[in-house]
Structure 1
Amino acid sequence: MKGTNTKQRHIYCLEGNWNKHPHCKQSIKPMLDLLFTFSKTKYIYRKCPTKEDFIKGLQAFTQKRYSNYTFLYIAYHGRKNRIYFGKEYITLKEIADILEGKLNGKIVHIGSCSTLNTTERNIKDFINRTGCSLISGYKKDIPYIESSAFELLYFNVLNKYRTYTTIKKNIINKYSTLVNTLKFTIF
C-alpha cells in the first residue's frame, strides 16, 4: 500500500467542558480551525457537556451522512479507562457497547488525561467490538498546551499516511520526545 494518503480524513469531534465556569472559552475548536485553514481538514464540532449529549453525539457519528468523517476525536477530562462529564463518567467498555460494529475503518483519538491507562485487553476489546482501525490517546495526565500541539502534528500525520504501521512509525520516529513525555499510545 502506498505511504501517502490521497484522500483527506475528516474529523468528527465531541468536546466536553474543561471548566465549571459557564462562560469559559477553553476549547479545542481553534485547533480544528487551524487544521482547516492550513490543511483543509474538514471537521464537525459538537459541544457535548453531559453524558447523555455525548452518547447522542456518538450515535450521530455512526449515521450514513457522516460516513466521510473517518476520524472520531473525543476531547474531555479523563481518568484511567474513563471519560468524565462533571461527576459522571463513561468507560471504554460502555463506549464500545454504544459503537459495537459501527466503526469499521474509523480512527478514534481520545484526547483526555489517562483514559488509555488501562489494560491492553480493554483496548483490544474496544477495537474488536467497534471495528475501528486504530485507537490512540494518553496514559497519563497531560498538559493542555503540549497535548494540543502534539495533536496538531498527529492529525497531520493521519492525513499524510494510510496504514497503521506507517502512521505509528512516523509518529514515534518524528515526535518520540512528545510521545514519551505525554505517554501517548496508539493501537
Structure 2
Amino acid sequence: MGSTEDLKLFCLEAVRDASKTNDSKLFPMLEHLAFEHGITNVYQTCDSITSFEQSLNNLLYEDRNFMDYELIYLVVKGTGEDIVIDGYRYSLQEIAELFEGKLKGKIIHFANTKTLDIDLETAQYFIDITRAKALSGYVEETIFDSTFLDSKLIAHFYQDTDDPEALVKLLLENQNKLAHALGFRLFY
C-alpha cells in the first residue's frame, strides 16, 4: 500500500438514526489514526440500506479522491453472509451486486459487529463481482469490540504491505492472541 501518508480510509457505521448527532466509539480510533499515523479518514453513518448504498455511491461518484481510498471500513451488524441494517437482512451477494465492479483495488474490512463466518466461495464471489482487492473481518462475536485490533491493522499492517500473506504473517507475529480470539479472516 505504501506509506501511511498515502493511506486513506472510508468508515461507514450503521446507527439507529443517522439524522441525530452521533458520538461514535470509533471517533477516538479515527482521530488516533489521523493524528498519530497521518491516515486520512472520512466517517459517515447510515440507518437504512438506502442510506448505506447512498453513502457508498456518494463516495464512488461524488468524492474526487475516491481512487485514493484504499480501505473501506464497515461497522454494521450481521452474521455469516448477511449484514443487518434497520432490522433488515441483506446478503453479501446483494451488496456485491449493488457495487458490481465499483470497488476495484479496495480492501473491505468489517468490524466484529458483523461476523465474517463465510466460506471461500462466498468471499470469492464478493471479490470477483465488486473487484475488491480483499475482504477481511472476524469470525468471532466477543464481549469486546474489534476497535483495538482494527486500529492496529489499519495503522501498522495494511499500509506496510500489498501482499496478503505478508499481512497475515505481520498480524500473527504482533497481535496473535487477539487475532485468534476474534478469528481474523482475510480473503483475497
TM-score, scaled relative to structure 1: 0.87
Per the alignment, residue 55 of structure 2 pairs with 57
1:120-131 alignment runs, 5 A limit: 120-131=120-131
Per the alignment, residue 98 of structure 2 pairs with 98
- Amino acid aligned to 2:131: G
Specify every segment of 5 or more residues in structure 2 that has no aligned partner in the other structure, as ranges: none
Distance in 2 of aligned mates of 1:67 and 1:78? 28
Q: Which runs of at least 4 in structure 1 moved beyond 6 Å after TM superposition?
A: none
Per the alignment, residue 149 of structure 1 pairs with 148
Per the alignment, residue 159 of structure 1 pairs with 159
Distance in 1 of aligned mates of 2:45 and 2:167? 28
C-alpha RMSD of the superposition: 2.1
Distance in 1 of aligned mates of 2:159 and 2:134? 14
Per the alignment, residue 5 of structure 1 pairs with 2
- Measured against aligned partners, the alpha-carbon deviations of 1:99-139 in whole angstroms (never above 9, x if no partner) come to 11111111110114353112211011101111111110111
1:133-148 alignment runs, 5 A limit: 133-145=133-145, 147-148=146-147
Q: For this pair of structures, how many residues does the alignment match?
A: 181
Distance in 2 of aligned mates of 1:114 and 1:61? 22
User: How much does 1:175 deviate?
Assistant: 1.4
Per the alignment, residue 116 of structure 1 pairs with 116
Could you tell me whether the CA contact under 8 Å between 1:101 and 1:129 is conserved in 2? yes
- Measured against aligned partners, the alpha-carbon deviations of 1:53-83 in whole angstroms (never above 9, x if no partner) come to 0011122232262111111110112222111
The verdict on how the C-alpha distance between 1:46 and 1:24 changes in structure 2, with shifts beyond 3 A counting, is closer
**More off after superposition, 151-160 vs 24-33:** 24-33
- Amino acid aligned to 2:50: E
SS of match in other structure, 2:90: strand
Distance in 2 of aligned mates of 1:46 and 1:26? 10
Distance in 1 of aligned mates of 2:36 and 2:73? 19
Per the alignment, residue 40 of structure 1 pairs with 38
Distance in 2 of aligned mates of 1:81 and 1:25? 28
Could you tell me whether the CA contact under 8 Å between 1:113 and 1:140 is conserved in 2? no
Specify every segment of 5 or more residues in structure 1 that has no aligned partner in the other structure, as ranges: none
Per the alignment, residue 185 of structure 1 pairs with 185
TM-score, scaled relative to structure 2: 0.87
Could you tell me whether the CA contact under 8 Å between 2:109 and 2:135 is conserved in 1? yes
- Amino acid aligned to 2:23: K
SS of match in other structure, 2:83: strand
User: How much does 1:144 deviate?
Assistant: 3.9
The verdict on how the C-alpha distance between 1:76 and 1:114 changes in structure 2, with shifts beyond 3 A counting, is closer
Distance in 1 of aligned mates of 2:102 and 2:115? 21
Could you tell me whether the CA contact under 8 Å between 1:46 and 1:57 is conserved in 2? yes
SS of match in other structure, 2:47: coil
Per the alignment, residue 176 of structure 1 pairs with 176
- Amino acid aligned to 2:154: F
